[in-house]
Amino acid sequence: MTRRDYGLTGRDGALAQEKGLANAQWYVCSLPRERLKALTRRKDGPAIRDTVIWFALLIATGGLGWTFWGDWWGAPFFAVYGVLYGSAADSRWHECSHGTAFRTRWLNDAVYGIASFMMLREPTVWRWSHARHHTDTLIVGRDPEILASRPPDFPGLLLNLLALKSGVLTLGRLAQHATGRLTADEATFIPPTERRKVYWTARAWIAALAGIAIWCVAIGSILPAMLIGLPTFYGTWLHLVLALTQHAGLAEDVLDHRLNSRTVYMNPVLRFLYWNMNYHIEHHIFPMVPYHALPALHRELKADMPPAYNGLLEAYREIVPALLRQARDPAYHVRRPLPPFARSSAAPLAAATGAA
């Protein structure tokens, strides 16, 4: 098998367009219109509650870490703070990018901006990147967010447990954007009218990060960076563990999210941290359903779905062998079984609703 080109300006991107896989129509499960309307109804209450809890936990663990800095007692508090900052912020960034977490737009935008900075994801770049991810999910040469390529980059995945690859790349792109330039891939999905936002946000972020660095030098301690900046690195490991369950090892270049995404049952703590993104097939089929309604959506669609995985361990029992096999055989992928009476992905495709 010829090694695939995951860049957005190369051979596979052109082939995807030739084959009709770019901006294509996707399989959509049947759901009564009124029921879908009820599930997509936005509310402020659940996200305000969960955001207040999240910020309270950040303040409590960060404050205790600060108090016990220099003592071993501070380590567990920073460990929890790091996960709340460098992993839980990912799901807040994600849901607010869809504009579905809150009913009130400025609340979505505010939490999106905060979470974007915490994850070092430039908000304008990633808003358009994620729109493309939903439009062309795991279409090689079109999707900029494929986490596990074929063959897998195992050293890169291991480094990204501490964001040592992705974080360094992000800092480099921040510097590039601050000079008024995009990468070639970014230029394929960021409209010209949005590019000035990218450049000015990069400059503001570099100034903020430089301010934290100057503060650390001034007091002779990395403590300020332990609270702002470094948690993006030391706390991101859980984000990667959860994110790999979404698509790793599954089919590429198919127009059925049931074949390229996973739904994994998780405990209430992980679901709070992950904002129900473990219901990932459902999210991709109906991306405008808010995170708090995804369990109900899962129940509605269950008869038309492959079986969900009973926890992270069961999911990784499939993912790890699949990635190891793809290192030898990049053409291999896990084939997800559909229920006996489920509609086939060969059935006429319907236009997906709200893919941005």
How do residues 257-310 score in pLDDT, each as one tens digit?
999 999 999 999 999 999 999 999 999 999 999 999 999 999 999 999 999 999
The DSSP code for 134 is H
The DSSP code for 70 is T
Number of H helices, E strands in the chain: 18, 0
What was the pLDDT predicted at 2? 73
The span from the CA of 255 to the CA of 27, in Å, is: 6
If one counts every other C-beta atom within 10 angstroms of the C-beta of residue 321, the result is 12
Q: Where are the domains of the chain?
A: 34-328
If one counts every other C-beta atom within 10 angstroms of the C-beta of residue 150, the result is 22
The answer to whether the beta carbons of residues 348 and 30 sit under 8 Å apart is: no
The answer to whether the beta carbons of residues 98 and 288 sit under 8 Å apart is: yes
How do residues 189-243 score in pLDDT, each as one tens digit?
999 999 999 999 999 999 999 999 999 999 999 999 999 999 999 999 999 999 9
- DSSP per-residue codes, 165-234: THHHHHHHHHHHHHTT---TTGGGTS-GGGHHHHHHHHHHHHHHHHHHHHHHHHHT-SHHHHHTTTHHHH
Q: Please provide the average confidence, as pLDDT, over all residues in the chain.
A: 94
Nearest to 115 by CA among 39, 54, 62, 194: 54
Of 136-150, 313-327, 341-355, minimum mean pLDDT range: 341-355
Please tell me whether the overall predicted TM-score, pTM, comes out greater than 0.85 for this model.
yes
- Main-chain dihedrals φ then ψ at residue 203, nearest 5 degrees: -65, -40
- Main-chain dihedrals φ then ψ at residue 264, nearest 5 degrees: -125, 125
The answer to whether the beta carbons of residues 204 and 53 sit under 8 Å apart is: no
The span from the CA of 146 to the CA of 124, in Å, is: 19
At which residue do the structure tokens 């219109």 appear? 33
- DSSP per-residue codes, 242-290: HHHHHHTTS-SS-S-HHHH--BB---HHHHHHHTTTTBHHHHHHSTTS-
User: Which run of H or of E encompasses 236?
Assistant: none
User: Which run of H or of E encompasses 144?
Assistant: none
Q: For residue 344, what pLDDT band results from cuts at 50, 70 and 90?
A: low
Residue 356 has pLDDT above 70, yes or no: no
Angle of CA points 160, 165, 170, to nearest 5°: 115
Which tokens sit at 341?
């009476």
What was the pLDDT predicted at 3? 85
CA atoms within 13 A on the CB side of 3: 7
